[in-house]
Structure formats: C-alpha cells, structure tokens
C-alpha cells in the first residue's frame, strides 16, 4: 500500500537542456483501501430548504472579475444556497460526453463545480478569498474519487473559512462521485493570469510575408 510523492514540472522547450525547471504541483498519492461510504447524501434534489439563486448572468460577472471560460467550461446550470453552503448543478457539454469515460472526472466538469463560488463572491456582504479579483485553487486536501465517467454533477460546497471550502459531488442519481475535504484558494492578479501570453507559448500567431513570386 503506502504512498508516493508526485511533482509536476515544466520548462520552455526553447531554453534547451540548461533551462530551469519550474515546479507547478507537489502532492502525495496514497494507495486505495477499504473505505466507509461517503458521509454526504445528495439524493434529494433540488436541496430541501435551499433558496435558488439566479445564475443567468454569472459568467458575465466572473468575466468582469478576470475569469475567462470557453463554452465547454461554462457548465454551471443552477445554484442554491442554504446557510453557508452552496449547492450547484453542473452538466458536461454534449460535445464532451464522449470523453467523459477517459477521466476519473472530466476537467471541464470539475472546474465548473467551483464556479458556483461566484454566487458568494457576488453577494454585497461577501468577504470571499480574492475580493473583487480572481482567485485560483492552490491546495487540495484528501481527494477521494468514488466513481468515474460522470457527465452531470450535484455539488455541495461548504466553507470552512473565507478561502477554503470542502466539496461533495454526486451524479444525477445522487450516487457519490468525488469528495474533497479541503480546497484552498489564493488570489492572483489579472496580469498574472495573462503574464505568459505570447512568451514561449505552445501556440502563437506570427505574420510571415511571402516573398515575391516574380
């Protein structure tokens, strides 16, 4: 059983063998063991006693705060609040359904679960991490995958502090899919998000005039 450390590094290809490696992620992966059933239950849906929140303009609001999501990632369909908890329903775009089985949880679906935090950040009394600017996931604690291949999720986000939440995710039937005991966010500037644009990127647009054919 035991555990293994995992690190993710990268460096610019143009830098050659002497280029410095940059550490992007550092974690510990533990072998699975017999686990008790997840403690959460999202079989009753919409959440009993929760108040529905209008998310029609949420992605416009997130864009104003510095987040830019493409169509495949704009998958938050509905949200509710109950006390300090936020409940959300996210659904993978039809074009990505064929890829769902390739992942434990499709990246676009996982990312969309966190967009519901914009409901809290948009509230006048909010003091959520990052203030009016963007904040990105920084530290994940105790991630457990209970099932794979989901295309629709029911999500509960519970805040343990201003910048840390726990997540419980289930499929459209209420069966557990993923649980995260703690996810901590750190604020970043809009400039940091676009800091690498056009500098050593994998794709770039370059104007190269053709020589005369005469």
Q: What average pLDDT does this structure show over 50-72? A: 91
Structure confidence by residue, pLDDT tens digits, 160-177: 666 899 999 999 999 999
Secondary structure class of 104 (helix, strand, coil): coil
Please check whether residue 22 lies inside any domain of the structure.
no
pLDDT band with cut points at 50, 70 and 90 for residue 203: low
| Among candidate residues 188, 173, 204, 180, the one with its CA nearest the CA of residue 131 | 188
Distance, CA of 118 to CA of 186 (rounded, Å) = 15
Give me the CATH number covering residue 139. Answer: 3.10.129.110
Q: How would you classify residue 16: left for phi > 0, otherwise alpha for psi between -120 and 50, otherwise beta? A: left
- Residue 192: pLDDT above 70? no
Residues above pLDDT 90, as percent of the chain? 48
Which of these ranges, 23-32, 40-49, 103-112, 173-182, has the smallest mean pLDDT? 23-32
- Residue 202: pLDDT above 60? no
List the domain range (segments joined by +) for residue 60. 40-188
Please check whether residue 95 lies inside any domain of the structure.
yes
Please check whether residue 11 lies inside any domain of the structure.
no
Into how many domains does the chain fold?
1
Q: What tokens does 65 get? A: 């705060």
- Residue 100: pLDDT above 80? yes
Distance, CA of 90 to CA of 96 (rounded, Å) = 13
Please check whether residue 90 lies inside any domain of the structure.
yes
Distance, CA of 26 to CA of 9 (rounded, Å) = 9
Please check whether residue 9 lies inside any domain of the structure.
no
Please check whether residue 126 lies inside any domain of the structure.
yes
Distance, CA of 50 to CA of 114 (rounded, Å) = 18
More confident residue, 149 or 30: 149
- Residue 82: pLDDT above 60? yes
More confident residue, 123 or 208: 208
Please check whether residue 75 lies inside any domain of the structure.
yes
Which residues are bridge partners to 86 per DSSP?
81, 157
Q: What average pLDDT does this structure show over 41-59? A: 94
Please check whether residue 78 lies inside any domain of the structure.
yes
């Amino acid at each position: 059983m035991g555990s293994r450390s995992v690190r993710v590094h990268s460096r610019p290809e143009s830098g050659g063998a002497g280029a410095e490696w940059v550490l992007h992620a550092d974690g510990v992966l533990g072998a699975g063991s017999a686990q008790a059933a997840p403690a959460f239950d999202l079989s009753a849906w919409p959440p009993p006693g929760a108040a529905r929140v209008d998310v029609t303009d949420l992605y416009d609001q997130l864009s104003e705060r510095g987040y830019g999501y493409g169509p495949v990632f704009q998958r938050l369909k509905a949200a509710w609040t109950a006390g300090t908890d936020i409940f959300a329903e996210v659904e993978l775009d039809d074009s990505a359904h064929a890829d769902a089985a390739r992942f434990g949880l499709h990246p676009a679906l996982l990312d969309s679960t966190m967009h519901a935090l914009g409901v809290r950040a948009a509230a006048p009394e909010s003091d959520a991490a990052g203030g009016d600017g963007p904040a990105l996931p920084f530290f994940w604690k105790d991630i457990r995958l209970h099932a794979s291949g989901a295309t629709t999720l029911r999500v509960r986000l519970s805040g343990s502090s201003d910048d840390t939440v726990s997540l419980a995710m289930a499929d459209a039937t209420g069966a557990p899919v993923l649980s995260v005991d703690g996810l901590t966010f750190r604020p970043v500037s809009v400039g940091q998000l676009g800091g690498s644009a056009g500098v050593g990127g994998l794709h770039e647009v370059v104007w190269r005039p053709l020589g005369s054919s005469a």
